[in-house]
Structure 1
């Protein structure tokens, strides 16, 4: 992560092969390598080359005191503070019984984990449990590498333990493949000190139009000696644009039929372009969290999972509100969940299930408390500690309440791997270089046509029916 002093993006230029942001050329080759290319290849070709149970367990270090136990390996994409919280929970599991040792192997984010997992499936040496993001697990499902989990539940541990909305997102044709864990939605965060000093209401804007009007009101305002922008945008994640595209009545797709070049979706990106380049009250940030904490920008949209860290970093009162509405609400769910790999042995999968049960029961409240991610199980939702935290810091309750407006990202964003990479390029062209939103989004649809056609038969066979 860049330091909080890197407030602004330097002058940018585009060329036929990509866009430069902070001196880094972000082109298709860069964004389609690693996880993107790996999971795309998996989804299209499939990787179950041998019968179930043939794949060996990845190697690792087992402490001597746990040497006689059955070993479960979890591949985790969580870093820094969140990694410490997960490790503490797993340490509790290891101390709670004497038969299983759970080992966490860390990766610096979802892309790094996906790349390694694709390679491990090819080499037939795999972990037992993986934390897969909301836009990667679907592709592993298409590759037929995930274990169906419905049959592992029993009377003592039923699917009803999980939040029904989140559980449904991991269910295909009445079979569960992906269990909720680190789930989130975007929130609208604002600097209460700036809002108060500028005469803005102590709330989030009702609509995107109101947000832009507030930006014009804020123009010329200084905070701690520096001029303030109304909003910092990120070009590293198109998740937020998925939400705003819905808010303007558009979206990514209707099933597998693209809607990115619809009038409504173009209008949502035109709003961003005008806010940044015409009003000059928003900008493409290198670190939205760092800029917000430093008071460089009055507002950002970021995950509910960022709430705890933002509260700790900011030296001002942080406001949290629902995302703005325009024609309708636009709140995408996100985050990650837990999956078991299909090509493990039956014994390893049953042992892994014991870890999952502990995480869902004993671990879920501590996870939500420690990280700020939404509570996804009954034990977490009904936790007295979580209820007390929400009462003390209402922003956490705002995050839970907004879930009533949330929906799963569009099919094309979840199943056509290239979609996210192409949309990152598109957003960066508009945010950094004032490209025409209509031209950019029509080009995205054109580029994605071959990937859609290639993915469609397997999607129809395994998902749509």
Structure 2
């Protein structure tokens, strides 16, 4: 990666964070109902209904599935019309949502990522939801582990929806041809040993690497830090430059640059489907698309351990915007109830995201699918090992962007992990100090 591209990335990251901070500062202290609804198009046949606007970060197939679920809601009753407005991924949605507060014009329901929702909570922009639950629809509708991740001091602000963990995917044909076991490696040490055994192996006429790494997301590395006994932070105290966290990144550096059996991929899904790499770590939410794209049998396994399991939860959930009228929020809650009680099984079945509700877990269709394709069941079973990302990653907005730059420096250029992580920790210190007072007041 060139100095120019790194500088541009830093410039864009800083500008986005600054704009978001300014926009969100303005929403604190405003009264509920102060903000107008964002504009949009309402079909003539729904013109007399109350309108609810859902902002979604899903694209392609997942966007189509969500639209099908919402079409079911619009057809199931005659009082509310839910309109989906799409954005190409979480960063684009996050940037637009932050800017919308400056205009005092917000959507009603938003699919916020497992990281971004925390920042809107600190800005007091999310509606507390406990008061909306009743005897017909309450906390028992959700998987308790996922519900707890959206709960702060006993109050629910973020509801599970498209939740996931990373899985270890492997090409069974490559493993068999190289004499490797038909399973995932138990430890990162074993993964590296298998990589050395794979050296020189060709698949369909081309040389194969053991693992393709992505430089677009630090989510997978968050799990690796735990596997090696490290972390991003302990509470809000940074641990990026701890010996254990450095060891996790040093493993990746050595695997890529010393062994030359791993590499930084531009598209891990495409490389895996093409047989360029024998393994990748990717979201459970990618399972359906990988199964469709691959022309070989895919194996799915738990993530490797080292000193401990290292499985982060991820994905997104549903948040109701606080600064809307009471009538809008009540109508929004009807959409939420439909999504959770009736739409969740269809969503999980057709996307590959983990079942997050009681109805999904009990769904005969999902159980049948898991029996036919055990990889889906592996994803559900691994959930018992999972935990939400560290506090610093969730509440300090700059953490993810800075960590992506750090990983790229190591993966692409072989930079020394100890130096890179020490520099990253220093750069994040002002952001931590900025967030800490509000974090202590609202969370800790």
2:9 corresponds in structure 1 to: 27
Alpha-carbon distance in structure 2 between the residues aligned to 1:371 and 1:238: 22
| Offset, 1:134 | 0.3
Contact 2:226–2:310 (CA under 8 A) maintained in structure 1 = yes
How many residues are treated as equivalent by the alignment? 444
2:78 corresponds in structure 1 to: 98
2:175 corresponds in structure 1 to: 195
SS of equivalent to 1:32: helix
Deviation sequence 1:18-53 (CA, Å, 0-9, x none) = 64xxxxx6631133343x44444456x352353111
SS of equivalent to 1:339: strand
Contact 1:42–1:139 (CA under 8 A) maintained in structure 2 = no
| Offset, 1:122 | 1.1
Alpha-carbon distance in structure 1 between the residues aligned to 2:363 and 2:273: 30
SS of equivalent to 1:311: helix
Q: Which 5+ residue runs of structure 1 have no aligned equivalent?
A: 1-11, 20-24
1:432 corresponds in structure 2 to: 412
Contact 2:227–2:307 (CA under 8 A) maintained in structure 1 = yes
| Offset, 1:278 | 0.1
Aligned with residue 359 of structure 1, among 323, 327, 339: 339
1:3 corresponds in structure 2 to: none
Aligned with residue 385 of structure 2, among 405, 409, 418: 405
1:221 corresponds in structure 2 to: 201
Aligned with residue 328 of structure 2, among 335, 348, 357: 348
Deviation sequence 1:224-277 (CA, Å, 0-9, x none) = 111000000001100000000000000100001000000000000000000000
SS of equivalent to 1:81: helix
Alignment TM-score, normalising by the size of structure 1: 0.94
Alpha-carbon distance in structure 2 between the residues aligned to 1:387 and 1:38: 45
1:124 corresponds in structure 2 to: 104
Deviation sequence 1:167-201 (CA, Å, 0-9, x none) = 00000000000000000000000000100111000
Alpha-carbon distance in structure 1 between the residues aligned to 2:261 and 2:274: 17
Alpha-carbon distance in structure 1 between the residues aligned to 2:73 and 2:234: 43
Distance 1:183 1:420, change over 3 A: same
Q: Does 1:325 align with 2:315?
A: no
Q: Does 1:257 align with 2:237?
A: yes
The equivalences for 1:90-239 within 5 A come to 90-239=70-219
2:32 corresponds in structure 1 to: 52
Aligned with residue 381 of structure 1, among 361, 365, 368: 361
Q: Does 1:73 align with 2:53?
A: yes
Contact 1:372–1:396 (CA under 8 A) maintained in structure 2 = yes
Contact 1:39–1:139 (CA under 8 A) maintained in structure 2 = no
| Offset, 1:285 | 0.2
SS of equivalent to 1:86: helix
Q: Which 5+ residue runs of structure 2 have no aligned equivalent?
A: none
Please provide the CA RMSD for this pair.
1.2
Alignment TM-score, normalising by the size of structure 2: 0.98
Distance 1:251 1:118, change over 3 A: same
1:395 corresponds in structure 2 to: 375
SS of equivalent to 1:283: strand
Q: Does 1:419 align with 2:411?
A: no
Contact 1:422–1:444 (CA under 8 A) maintained in structure 2 = yes
